[in-house]
Chains A and B, each alone.
Chain A
Amino acid sequence: MSAPSKTDSAKRPVRLLRNLNAKIASIPMVATALVVFIGCTTWTVVHSFTSSKLLPKLDFVGWEQYDRLWGTRRWLVSIENLAWYGVCSMVLTLLIGFILAALLDRKVRFENTFRTILLYPFALSFIVTGLVWQWILNPDFGVQQVVRDWGWESFTFDPLYNPDIVIFGILIAGIWQGSGLIMVIMLAGLRGIDEDIWKAARVDGIPTWKTYVVVIIPMMRPVFVTALVLIASGIVKVYDLVVAQTSGGPGIASEVPAKYVYDKMFASQNLAQGFAASTMMLVSVIIILIPWAYLEFGGKKRG
């Protein structure tokens, strides 16, 4: 070690220069947080109150864009689709994810193989997912044709060509892609539960299914909440899947809000409509997040 310098370091250093390197290293984070997440979001919300068409401009028109938005059939269809897709996908993904995790948690042989097969769809993009299921659900060659070939001539299963049920055709693909993730999270949650709980339940003579319902699921509340938030924030963003699988068709039967936003902003040069629609998406995410944050932090206080 070099001899310590003889100068006194008695003066309190300038606050800004303390930890200077850490501050420099954090510039990208600060810039992202301020410019992109806060700045860009605010910009869009502000411009949703203008009449911007091809180019953004600041001539405020109040709630006009929102009035028009909620008077547009395509938007209403999008919202309705998202609601159906959202509710179904949330319930089914949670259910399937939990059941699969519970099955795998029963000390199954080849657990890794099963898990690998159930999770691989999550590695694939929504585009690939959408295109594969578009092909499988093709009425001339896919599932419908296979069943007809077996002899059931009148069997009809063409969700992608039937406006009434097209969103469920997308749902099939979405659940196939995403349920593996939820299974893995649930499995991690199940593994986090103390072995002794199971032993205690066995000593008390509680049947396995009842142990799950009465003991395990209540203990996994935080895991369920995390899974729910994850599914929910994914649902709002649904876009690629629809583009790949149906392009919003037939007609406008499978439109979703994210696609509405994209089309308004980048295809039909109606910027402010796009801004208003995306602001509505933001609002819905906030509505989902607030109860979650309440549960998280409220729960911590109680604990």
Chain B
Amino acid sequence: MRHGMSRLRALPRAHLIAGICLVLLLLYPVVNPWQPYPQGVMLLAFLLAIQASSWNIISGYAGYISLGHSMFLGLGSYTVGVLAVHFGVNPLWVAPLGGITAVIIAILIGSVVLRTRGHAFVIITIAMLLAAQIFAVNLKGITQGSDGITLELPFWDRDFQNIPFYYVFLILMVLTVLFSAWIRRTKFGTGLVAIREDEGKAASIGVNTTRFKIVAYAASSFFIGMAGGVYAYYLTFINPVGSFAILGSVTIVLATLTGGRGTLYGPVLGAFIVQLVSEGATVYGGGSNARVLVFGLALMLVVLFLPKGILPTIEEWWRRRHPENVEYTDQAGALSRAPVTATVTVTERVRAEIAAVNEKDEVAPGEILLDVRGVSKRFGGLTAVDDAGLTVRKGSITALIGPNGSGKTTLFNLISGGMAADSGEIWFDGRRIDGMRPWRRGHLGLGRTYQVTRLFKEMTVQENVVAPLPDSRWRTMFSDAVRGHEAARARELLDIVGLGRFANQPAGALSYGQQKLVELAQVLMLEPKLILLDEPAGGVNPSLLGQLTEVIRELNRSGVTFLIVEHNIPLVLDLCDPVVVFSHGAPIAEGPPDRIRTDPLVLDAYLGDDWRPTEDGDEDGAGDRADETTREAVQ
């Protein structure tokens, strides 16, 4: 919840304001007990806040819009209504079962439609809302069909009127907000935001995106289902059309969007606004016919003119008024070509951790850690990777070089699991991995960075580094991401790459080269055995580059193996051994750097004449000219 924290810091004392509002709401019925109308309006606002706050978990944090979320309210109502009618139980005591029904249905639907990325989810949520209505109409034996279910009147004295409901909904609202806040603090919450920002990247850092999305959908349904049970008792009458109304979903979406999607208090604020405006529209604007029009217009206006919502907009304004000064560049040495003086130290603790991960390995140093066997990948008529074989030995820094379009990045994608190979096998650490989902490969100790960095730009630097999950345990998933072990570790890794002081800055504010280093720290969080680096030097200034190579060397000394795609040939020849040369989707040469730079085949296919040794053996000259070539290539 770092991001949330900084958000709260930007909006001073948000928790305090929320607390004061809560006290006022708690006192209101005591101060003004005999007016049922305002209490009724308020408790409906609480109900909407419960729904909006819950919806925010799947649609705000994870970014998967559900347009049928009022279905869970109806499911809760019907669970309670059916139990009350058939078994005579009091609706209030079985309301939690409404929440459980909602969770079960959410898991069932989610398991079908949340396995892929994309737009099927939003569509299915609408269809399921209508399907639920069809069930309620037609399962007459259970639900009494279109006639609906009439429940007993509340058991308390009529003098108390709505006061008990007022407090029940208020408590449920507080619980929902606390639940949402807790989720956002955990690595689960960080993972959800990661999914919203870049789902493919999230999968590659060990986030089991399928599981995360399904759990988020289920988590977003529980309190709504439970509130639905209480709501049925409050109404004392439920029917299919009222319980599964799409307009209910509209108010949820509108409330969250107005207040601020993805924030903690936004949905609550939005719920109060929407409820009060809607009440006003009904009273003064000509009844429910006008409501559809008003909601529709409001939704369009918010999307067009206030897409971020009230709280984030205020926060932005506040930030502009109170700018924080952060020194983003290393003024000293950023542009000098002088060799790095920055001392890189991999702390003892991290070194020990890495060593522990890599020692309990079945693969001994020097043996084959990654084995790519006869792998091919075609895009239509283009064969990007053609029956390629490649081995990476444990403890090595292996380079993969070759012309643009020779299939290096595609091979990386096949190894990390972003794409599926058409044929061939990939073995890692004694296991066949080519059929595994990307996060499984991450959990086995396979990490990668990207040619063009893919940080989660709306998260802070520290959140970016905390996000990866080294294993698939539920305990890891629900561990605290703000304080404690995980956060401390992220901080340490950031210090290793020399960016500790940027921990609380948004990742998007960093320079490209700094982002590359953050991405490396992110991968280290996975406790990797093998790191695939895709053009680590591209677009990085010489000073940072020195820092980067030092980090790579240090990590390698601690036991991490590297496979590096890079066009900066002097760097490759200096850092890597062996070097593999790729051309037309398959390796054409492999060997120690000295042999590669003189290999005629490699000179023809990639390095070119500048690297060809001159007749009088002036190797220095060759090196200089090659430097120029490389600089051009980088540009």
Are both chains from one complex? Answer: no
On B, residues with C-beta under 8 Å from A are none
**Residues of chain A at the chain B interface (Cβ within 8 Å):** none
